[in-house]
Amino acid sequence: MESMSDMVENMARRARKAAARLAYVPGDTKNAALENLARSIGTGREKILAANALDVEAARGKLSTAMLERLALDDKKLADIARGVEEIAKLEDPVGKVLCATRRPNGMSIEKVSTPIGVIGIIYESRPNVTIDCAALCIKSGNAAILRGGSEAFNTNAAFASLIASSLDSAGISADSVQIVPTSDRAAFAELLKLDQYIDCIIPRGGAGLISFISQNTRIPVIKHDKGVCNVYIDKFADAELSKKLAVDAKCQRPSVCNAAENLIVHKDSAENLLPAVCAELVSRGVEIRAGAGAKGVLSRNGIPCVDASDGDFSTEYDDLIISAEIVDSLDSAIDFVNTYGSSHSDLIVTSDAGRAEKFMARVDSACVYWNVSTRFTDGFEFGFGAEIGISTNRLHARGPVGLAELCSYKYKIRGCGQTKGNLYQG
């Protein structure tokens, strides 16, 4: 019998081979595979839902209600998943784009052209829609994928795996281009992380525990989606209505996501006027205010309920209706605050002063810096990428939203007529 490590290594070896071919498959062929997939999600509806019902049944009592809801599929969710695949098919092929071109004094031309990365390992947790989503993004970007979903979604993912394989096959693309680890055994996942000779990149989609385990156990480059401690800074020159509107959106519109705000910082000259007004709006939407020493005094005097912020609060990702608040003395202090306590994800200045806004955006060291726009827009769709596999908190390769372009590498094509570095051969 094939051992676990042999099984995983064979998958990876097949993926590497498939990647070499997938790299130059024409866009139309990749789109045909995606259209097949979208269609087969429709025609395979009953099989998928039956497999999913097994997973939901097995998970009942073990997962929270919220997790069960994420796991369970229905007709509407399936239709959304299929539509997502169709949308990806419609996007421009990210491979083979000339990123820049130049001609050198010796007459040779150099073209920088986008290519797939190669083999991408994607490791994720319970939501089974991620399986189709990642498969579609990898097919479109010409990357072979090895997907390892959560054990809770084992049967659902197996049903998806067979649809993906037949959709690729019908389009004439090797089914090895997208493989799903066919076991919920944790050892398979650990094996995968060792295979740096076959796998070019790991993308974890899941909580902090998953990301940290992966980073500590692999030499394969990881495109990390780490925590989002986002800041809203209300400047000395900030409009009250704009401040309220943006703080409310950044905190309350969807508190559980990485681009929601966790800290509210207010310039001292705006504190008496704006801090209570903004916090009152937040409190009226159920937000708990955790106030630093400076903010506490102003809020208390104005009758706004708050609790004391503890030391770690300003660097905590609450993912909930909680916000930390503090007053700063200057724009420079605000920038220092954001760079010290934030997580370099998405940070906002509310100000009517362009010079101060530009200074904030230049000096805050974050993937996305906003001037009078909610932090909630850090998202591949909102950025116009047409798709997204996550938000990278790396500084190398991809930073911020990761779309199809960020799932690509590049190569140089150099064309000439006999250019040589030296003059050794005279003919």
- In the window 103-142, what residues touch a copy of itself (CB under 8 A)? 104, 108, 110, 115, 117-118
Question: What DSSP string describes 154-185?
Answer: HHHHHHHHHHHHHHHHHTT--GGGEEE-S---
**How far is Cα 248 from Cα 387, in angstroms, rounded to an integer?**
26
As measured in angstroms, the least distance from the Cβ of 208 to a copy of itself is: 15
Structure tokens at 147: 């997907």
| Region 391-410 residues binding a copy of itself, contact defined as CB under 8 A | 394-397, 399-400, 409-410
Strands 109-116 and 98-103: antiparallel
Which residues make beta-bridge pairs with 347?
Answer: 231, 369
Which one among 54, 158, 363, 386 touches a copy of itself, defined by CB under 8 A?
Answer: 363
Whether the Cβ atoms of residue 51 and residue 155 lie closer than 8 Å to each other? yes
Which one among 29, 184, 253, 333 touches a copy of itself, defined by CB under 8 A?
Answer: 253
Contact mark string toward a copy of itself, 210..239, x via CB under 8 A: -----xx--x-x-x----------------
**How far is Cα 40 from Cα 363, in angstroms, rounded to an integer?**
49
Select the span of 37-45, 50-58, 145-153, 368-376 touching a copy of itself (CB under 8 A).
Answer: 368-376
**How far is Cα 235 from Cα 357, in angstroms, rounded to an integer?**
9
Query: What single letter denotes the amino acid at residue 158?
Result: A
| Region 174-203 residues binding a copy of itself, contact defined as CB under 8 A | 200-201
By the rule CB under 8 A, 366 interacts with a copy of itself: yes
Which one among 40, 179, 351, 374 touches a copy of itself, defined by CB under 8 A?
Answer: 374
| Minimum CB distance to a copy of itself smaller for 41 or for 323 | 323
| Region 34-93 residues binding a copy of itself, contact defined as CB under 8 A | none
By the rule CB under 8 A, 97 interacts with a copy of itself: no
By the rule CB under 8 A, 424 interacts with a copy of itself: yes
As measured in angstroms, the least distance from the Cβ of 92 to a copy of itself is: 14
By the rule CB under 8 A, 166 interacts with a copy of itself: no
Which residues make beta-bridge pairs with 328?
Answer: 267
| Region 259-298 residues binding a copy of itself, contact defined as CB under 8 A | 281, 285
Query: What single letter denotes the amino acid at residue 37?
Result: L
Q: In 3D, which of 129, 126, 133, 123 has the Cα closest to residue 55?
A: 126
Angle at 152 between CA 150 and CA 156, to 5 degrees: 90
